[in-house]
Amino acid sequence: MYSYQRLFDFTQKIFLSIGCPPDDALLATETLLSADLRGIDSHGVARLIGYVRLWEAGRINATPTVRVVHETLSTATVDGDGGLGLVVAPKAMQIALEKAKNVGSGWVSVKNSNHFGIAGYHAMKALEHDMIGMAMTNASPLVAPTYSLERLLGTNPIAVAIPANEQPPFVADLATTTAANGKLEILQRKNLEAPHGWIQSADGSSSTNPNELKDGGALLPLGGDTGSHKGYALGAVVDIFSAVLSGANYGPWVPPFVSFLAPPANPVGEGIGHFFGAMRVDAFRPAEDFKQHMDNWITTFRNSKAKAGHQVLIPGDPERESEAVRLKEGIPLLPPVVKDLEGLGEKFGVTL
């Protein structure tokens, strides 16, 4: 178990060590560790070594100039200049928020970025402004579309954050696959099998081997063996909004997160793509009225009659509860993750 502050200080020093300006190092650290706090261990500090390796390979710019390259009153396209997605994405979301403040909604598509952490962190930035936030990103191709043997899509997550009044906000944050690739990485570290419906082998048959992707297998879209056409459609929408719209790489051309795999030699765009949205609630109805009805919506669903031994959850409940516990008790790290972090510490002279 490691305290949030201990991991925060360590991570911030690592980002500074690779050349990030102080403000960017702070922003990247907050973005990354939000995943650990919310119980999404696959996307938190366990990925720090991956970002460093991409920087060492010359595929991440530690000092990017994030800029708007095209815009209207309510829309913008942002060039991330090859920077950390952990930095590019929050800056792009801020642009969406500013546009929403001015004209009611803001929509920003991003190119030339990298992995941006958890989508929920970015969507939730809208909540403090009585806005609805949206965030999505494409990712390296690990997912086979329905009936395909080829990996053409990423896990392509979607997040939507909606404010309430007295109730906690509604925060949906989900991959468009049955499970995110990070969940496979956790199973690999624990030497456990994957559930049926997560993966297919290279010949298209169902598999429970969490290492199947290394042998040409693929993740399955949300819906698994019987309903993958729905997850396929959602993942495709994310890919198009994030990349075809912005000028980033899409489909099989999205560069891999791991540094030991080279990006495709014939890119169709620049870097990884994201898409953000912010909508002022009072552009539709008075914010207080809406939030009171959101309270009613949330309590109605949460208090509905549930199966024996279960409770009906609202999207965001488990992550919010995890954050409360982990801020108090610390963040658990698996031994392989600790080993990676200690290795980074030795390399840059930073104590974990």
Collapsing DSSP states into helix, strand and coil, what is residue 351?
Answer: coil
Domain boundaries, the chain: 1-62+319-351, 64-177+223-284, 179-219
The residues that bridge with 219 in the sheet, in sequence order, are: 143, 199
User: For residue 121, which amino acid is it?
Assistant: Y
| In the chain, % of residues over pLDDT 70 | 100
What is the structure's pLDDT at 225?
A: 77
- First and final CA of the chain: distance in angstroms? 12
pLDDT tens across 40-52, in order? 998 999 999 999 9
| Predicted local confidence at residue 259, as pLDDT | 85
Strand partners, 111: 79
- Residue 160: per-residue pLDDT: 98
The domains spanning 1-62+319-351 and 64-177+223-284 adopt the same CATH topology: no
**Which residue carries 């919010």 as its tokens?**
320
Rg of the chain in Å (alpha carbons): 20
Q: If you classify domain 64-177+223-284 with CATH, what class do you get? A: alpha beta
Nearest to 269 by CA among 248, 246, 244: 248
* Candidate ranges 79-93, 188-202, 220-234; pick with highest mean pLDDT: 79-93
Least confident range of 176-185, 188-197, 279-288, 343-352? 176-185
CA distances 320 to 46, 66, 86, 170, 261, Å, are 20, 31, 21, 10, 35
Please tell me the distance from the alpha carbon of residue 315 to that of residue 228, in angstroms, as a whole number.
21
Give domain 179-219's CATH architecture. 2-Layer Sandwich (3.30)
For residues 233 and 6, what is the distance between their CA atoms, to the nearest angstrom? 41
In this predicted structure, the answer to whether residue 186 has a pLDDT above a threshold of 90 is no
Predicted TM-score (pTM) of this structure: 0.94
* Helix, strand, coil distribution of the chain in percent, nearest 5: 45, 15, 40
| Mean per-residue pLDDT, 304-316 | 95
| Beta strands at 206-207 and 105-113: parallel, antiparallel or unpaired | unpaired
Q: pLDDT confidence of 255, banded at 50, 70, 90?
A: very high
- pLDDT above 80: residue 326: yes
Using pLDDT thresholds of 50, 70 and 90, give the confidence band for residue 116. Answer: very high
Confidence of residue 287 (pLDDT cuts 50, 70, 90): very high
Q: Please state, in angstroms and rounded to a whole number, the distance separating the CA atoms of residues 80 and 64.
A: 7
In this prediction, residues 297-319 reach a mean pLDDT of 96
State whether CATH 1.10.1530.10 applies to domain 1-62+319-351: yes
Name 133's bridge partners.
161, 278
Q: Is residue 181 predicted with pLDDT exceeding 80?
A: no
- Cβ pair 159, 122 in contact under 8 A: yes
